[in-house]
Structure 1
Amino acid sequence: MSEIIKTSAVVLGKMNYSDSSLIVTLYTEHNGKVSAIVKGARSPKSKLSMIVDTLNHIEVIFYKKESRELQIVSSADLISHYPNIKSDLESTKYAFAVLELVRNLTIENESNNRLFKGLVKILDHFENKKETPAILFARFFMFLITETGYEMMIDKCSICGKQLLPEQSAGYNFSSGFVCNECLQSHSGFEKIDSELFKFLYCLKNKKILNGLKAKIIDDGNSFLERYVKEHIPDFKGIQSLNLFK
């Protein structure tokens, strides 16, 4: 027996199915990631195709059946289509990268209301240009890493316990995490993280203001986060969206 679900959702992606339908991936407020079919959405008379466009924030009604891989959307209404994001290539690139992370790093039907609220909040920040798109993406990436259970321990040296400060460089490796300069010098197997990059990661983790950063540091920071996730989740193949918009 099907359960009727009415919920707010963000459209993570869509693809054509048969001659007239769409398959959509939604991140919903109460049901987590859901795959669903929108029957007849590609018909010229249907308004649903525009409503369930990728990136849109919508209110959707679907019929949920546990034994079914694809749920059935019965109706959808638009909450926001984020016109400022879609009219700016840089914002579009990083917003789509956010959607890709949620699509690839979350489990089907696993509810996470904090993650849903964080997703909507970051898209609102993109839309209102609160910070540069690359920094907003980095903030969400760090948030998602924490929400999915892979929190980055960055405040204390993993060897001696000394407090790590954002003005200093540090060491890092996969098995031990971050270490202070003294332990970096006295222990082998660590790469050096320069002070600018470490400050960027530290401020992300501790939700600090980020001003006057060079574009290279932001890019290096996002690359570090990508590598960090690859180290913890071997199936993660990296972020394709950032390459598609080059």
Structure 2
Amino acid sequence: MSEIIKTQAVVLGKMNYSDSSLIVTLYTEHNGKISAIVKGARSPKSKLALIFDTLNHIEVIFYKKESRELQIVSSADLISYYPNIKSDLESTKYAFAVLELVRNLTIENESNNRLFKGLLKILDHFENKKEAPSILFARFFMFLITETGYEIMIDKCSICNKELNPDSSVGYNFTTGFICNECLQSHSGFEKIESELFKFLYCLKNKKFLNSLKVKTIDDGNFFLEKYVREHIPDFKGIQSLSMFK
């Protein structure tokens, strides 16, 4: 038996299938990430290809069957296509990187309503230019790392348990985590993280306001998060979208 599901979703990606259909990856409000086939979407008279454009926020009806890898879409309506994102190359690059993270770091059919709301919120911030696209991407990356169970502990020294000062340099390795500057002087095997980069990561984790940041600091922060995920999820191959739009 198939269950009829009506839900909001974000289109994470799509690919052509047969002569007239699409296979789409959706992140849905109540069913998490799903893969589905949209039959006839590419036929000349169908509007579904436009509705299922990557990045779109839609409402979709599909037939769900647990034993089936590809669910079957019945119909869909467009809620938002984020025109401001799609008209700006920098916003497009980082918004697509957000979709790539969700596509690669979430499990099929695992519901996470908080993640769905967070995804819509960050896309809205991209659309309305709340912050620089690179910072918005970093905020979502930190949020997703926490939501997927790999939270970065950044408030206290992993050795002496002292509160870490966001205006100070610290030490770090992927086994122990962050340590204070004092412990860094007396322990080996740690990389020094300069104060600008640590403050950026600290503010991301604690949802603090960020301004007057150097481009290099933001790029270094995103690289740190990417490397962190690589260390904890061996199957993660990095973020392709950021290089595709160069």
Give the structure-1-normalised TM-score: 1.00
**Alpha-carbon offset, residue 190 of structure 1:** 0.3
**Alpha-carbon offset, residue 165 of structure 1:** 1.1
Equivalent residue number for residue 193 of structure 2? 193
> Segments of 4+ in structure 1 off by > 2 A?
none
**Alpha-carbon offset, residue 79 of structure 1:** 0.4
Equivalent residue number for residue 159 of structure 1? 159
Does 2:83 match 1:91? no
Equivalent residue number for residue 24 of structure 1? 24
Equivalent residue number for residue 113 of structure 2? 113
Does 2:75 match 1:65? no
Q: Distance in 2 between matches of 1:74 and 1:48?
A: 11
- TM-align CA RMSD: 0.3
Q: Distance in 2 between matches of 1:150 and 1:184?
A: 24
Equivalent residue number for residue 235 of structure 1? 235
Q: Deviations over 1:120-165 (max 9, x none)?
A: 0000000000000000000000000000000000000000001001
Q: Distance in 2 between matches of 1:184 and 1:100?
A: 35
Q: Distance in 1 between matches of 2:143 and 2:201?
A: 12
Q: Which amino acid aligns with 1:41?
A: A
Q: Distance in 2 between matches of 1:166 and 1:211?
A: 15
Equivalent residue number for residue 208 of structure 1? 208
Q: Which amino acid aligns with 1:235?
A: D
Q: Which amino acid aligns with 1:103?
A: R
State the SS of the aligned residue for 1:236.
coil
Does 2:39 match 1:39? yes
Q: Which amino acid aligns with 1:37?
A: I
**Alpha-carbon offset, residue 39 of structure 1:** 0.1
Q: Distance in 2 between matches of 1:149 and 1:165?
A: 25
- Consecutive unaligned residues in structure 1, runs of 5 or more: none
Q: Distance in 2 between matches of 1:171 and 1:104?
A: 29
How many residues are matched? 246
State the SS of the aligned residue for 1:59.
strand
Equivalent residue number for residue 124 of structure 2? 124
